[in-house]
Amino acid sequence: MRLIQVALQRYILETEPELGPGQVVVIDNIGMAEELGGPNNQLNGRVVMSLVNLQEESTLKNASHYRLGNGRTIYQNPPVNLNLFILFCSLHNQYETALRLLTRVVEFFQSQQEISFTSTPGNGSISRNVRVIPDLYSLSFEQLNQLWGSLGGKQVPFVLYRARLVAVEAQKRQAESEVISGISINE
């Protein structure tokens, strides 16, 4: 989510320079926002990203446990592919400004068909290859009511995106052996 936050922050500040150099996009629990329109609210004037659901992509669950690498067969558990449901809420005292910020969120994802990032920590134990494909996710009125009821707050301008195919994989090899290159039968 931090990857999306940084990229979205950069985009909004480029398109809305009058907002100033401050943090516009924050990762926070929208359900914890008190008095959404109140002047003492720290989230006022910001776009708040909240993770509202996490789902395994079951269609990609049957990947092979074996891979070939450097002439050897490597047994490794396949990655877990996740769908993240991220709620983007625009909080602002002026409703028109809140809608304009929400429009910037939609524009950002319309211009980004894929967001990807690779990081490898110094110890090499875990490598992360993150590839996010954002999809606008629409809810029915009943689902909207349930969502905001579970969040415990008043509905504010928002958009919900599903970030598809986020692969989580530890680079720990389970076992390794020589590749079988032929079979001979002795009679």
Tell me the residue range of the domain where 115 lies.
2-177
Task: Tell me whether residue 182 is in a domain.
Answer: no
**Whole-model pTM?**
0.76
Would 146 be classed as within a structural domain?
Answer: yes
**The predicted structure's pLDDT at residue 135:** 93
pLDDT tens digits for 35-54? 554 555 788 889 999 999 99
40-72 burial, b for 16+ CB within 10 Å, e for fewer?
A: eeebbbbbbbbeeeeeeeeeeeeeeeeeeeeee
Distances (CA, A) of 93 to 36, 66, 119, 138, 170: 9, 55, 38, 25, 44
How many domains, in total, are found in the chain?
A: 1
DSSP state letters, 1-47: -HHHHHHHHHHHHHH-GGG-SS--EEE--GGG--STT-TT-TTTTEE
- Please give the residue that has the higher pLDDT: either 91 or 179: 91
Q: Judge whether 32 lies within some domain.
A: yes
Q: 184 in a domain, yes or no?
A: no
Residue 185 lies in a domain: no
- Top pLDDT among 42 and 172 is at 42
Decide if 20 is inside a domain.
yes
Tell me how far apart the alpha carbons of residues 163 and 1 are, in angstroms, rounded to a whole number: 9
How far is 28 from 51, CA to CA, in rounded Å? 9
The answer as to whether 101 is a domain residue is yes
User: For 66-94, what is the mean pLDDT?
Assistant: 82
At 124 the pLDDT is 47
* pLDDT, tens digit (0-9, with 9 covering 90-100), for 137-146: 999 999 999 9
